[in-house]
Amino acid sequence: MQLSYFRRVAAGGAVAALAFAGVGAFTATPAYAATSKVSVVHGIPDTPVDVYVNGKKTLDNFKPGDVAGPLNLEEGDYDIALTKPGEPVGSAILKVDNAAVPGGANISIAAHLDAAGQPKITPFVNDVSKVDAGKARLIVRHTAAAPEVDVRAGGTPVFKNLTNPNEAKGDVDAGKVKADVVLAGTDTVAIGPADLNLKEGTATIVYAIGSAEGKTLDVVAQTITGLHSAPGGVPSGDGGQAGTGVNTWWYVLTGAGVLLLLGGGVRMATARTGRK
């Protein structure tokens, strides 16, 4: 009894140590290196995985529909491998070697199905430029085993002819919008409708995942905050009653004063010279 308890604790410790080592590899970053923020999105139905980066387990039992990160990754090439939970990295079900992570970027790595239903890994660079005040960014990524689609907001197509593994994006008024995904050029709803709450100053990234054939189409969402801009100004008065500082007449008065002083002084001086 006691022994098995110990064994379990020991096993748990080993997993924790592995996970920690994985994170350590990510975070032991020299201050001068250009790091990128990297998130991982799981869009393969019914397939929980362990995620290995450069041979080290980074995510344990990562479930479909989950988003991990962001991690701070140093610029460079990375080997990414996915295994069934608990299996060694040698028996990866999906891997990408030498995936290039540029410096100073914000990246999402999606594990998903391609159009034909085969698992694959696609990196996306996230647009984290500022949005105007009052706006939100909507990014839609087609990462499902499904044909070409249109994305509609309030029944109107906003992004057309989106194919796997591509994205469409736009800055829109912040607020709620009812969105759905239809087969391109049709009214055949593939996903949704769903209420999207697009918060001002954020980017909402929606991944279409799963398989049309397997009837597992769904969405995964990722939100990036902090993209807001301040308003252009705060105009809050046109009456003038609270005006401080001086008016035109002040300059006239000052000018006149200076002229009078100068004029008077000159006359005094010439008068004195004249008397001599």
State which H helix or E strand residue 135 sits in: strand 135-142
Report the residue number, 116 or 189, with the smaller CB distance to another protein. 189
Report CA torsion sign: 173, 179, 181, 185: negative
Nearest to 73 by CA among 24, 113, 145, 111: 24
Report the residue number, 116 or 262, with the smaller CB distance to another protein. 262
Which residue is listed with tokens 């105009």? 235
Length of the chain: 276
- C-alpha–C-alpha distance, residues 175 and 138, integer Å: 11
Report the residue number, 161 or 225, with the smaller CB distance to another protein. 225
Instruction: Enumerate residues 6+ apart whose C-beta is below 8 A from 162.
Output: 140, 142, 148, 149, 150, 151, 168, 184
Grouping H, G, I as helix, E, B as strand and the rest as coil, residue 25 is: helix
Q: How far is the CB of 220 from another protein (least distance, A)?
A: 3
Report the residue number, 112 or 211, with the smaller CB distance to another protein. 112
Report the residue number, 57 or 150, with the smaller CB distance to another protein. 57
DSSP 145: B
